[in-house]
Amino acid sequence: MAQIGLQLYTIKEETAKDFFGTLRRVAEIGYDGVEFAGYFGASAADLKQLLTEIKLQAAGSHVGTKILQESLDEAIDYAKTIDCPALVCPGFKVEGEHTFHEIAALFNRSAESCKNAGLKFLYHLHGHEFTQYGDKTGMDILLEETDPQLVGWEPDIYWVEHAGADAVSFVQKYGDRCWYIHLKDAKDRIDWHDVEIGDGVINTIGVIKAAEPFSPAWYIVEQEAFDRPEMDSIAISLQNVRRLIAN
């Protein structure tokens, strides 16, 4: 059964103020793990000790293209120390169709290095991948030019839907490469204001049903705008996701 993690960018102000204290609170709420968005100067050894103590898993770590290009070995070493199974690229700046060809090559190289170190490599979809370039989209280019054995997807279902694509259909079609699923919800499709997972208009239960045959390792919760205290929101999302998975 897939585990449920929290993308720590959700509570970035809290982690910036008290990284370790915030991780303790996330563990107390009941998440199985977290996906890192930076380490706030913590040593890998100290972070590993804390995660072991509070029984919180490292689900993955978001690393940008600059790290992939300039300091991938260091990122891999840190991830291995904290028993983090995957590095995830959270996005990239698009300058045109050529960007997608260049990024596909970068992902293949990065993923090969990760595989050699015993890690997985994933890309977090943001929506701009569905931009049309001639007879192909950026997503088509990434799918065609990345090695399916090396490069996995972490579709953010909010951004997939925001781009005008259907998240359920995407997972049904490419579920064998959707190793993680990013869950995010919206109050409506007008201003796309974030709400707790399962309380908005995104067909989260449909995505979970579509993903189930492919056995994703993690469902990752993320939220970027709030109508209540952030820690209350992540607790609500966790309970809702558990309910949706059970159903």
What is the structure's pLDDT at 2?
A: 84
pLDDT band at 247 (very low <50, low <70, confident <90, very high): confident
Q: Which residues contact 238 (CB under 8 A, 6 or more apart)?
A: 4, 6, 29, 30, 31, 221
pLDDT band at 43 (very low <50, low <70, confident <90, very high): very high
62: pLDDT strictly greater than 80: yes
pLDDT band at 244 (very low <50, low <70, confident <90, very high): very high
Give the chain's domain count: 1
pLDDT band at 207 (very low <50, low <70, confident <90, very high): very high
Query: Which domain, by its residues, includes 191?
Result: 3-246
Q: What is the pTM of this model?
A: 0.95
1: pLDDT strictly greater than 90: no
pLDDT band at 40 (very low <50, low <70, confident <90, very high): very high
pLDDT band at 34 (very low <50, low <70, confident <90, very high): very high
What CATH code is carried by the domain that includes residue 182?
3.20.20.150
pLDDT (mean) for 70-95: 97
Say how far apart CA 27 and CA 187 lie, in whole Å: 27
pLDDT (mean) for 58-65: 97
Going by C-alpha positions, the residue among 138, 202, 206, 146 that lies closest to residue 177 is 146
Q: What is the pLDDT of residues 133-182, one digit of tens each?
A: 999 999 999 999 999 999 999 999 999 999 999 999 999 999 999 999 99
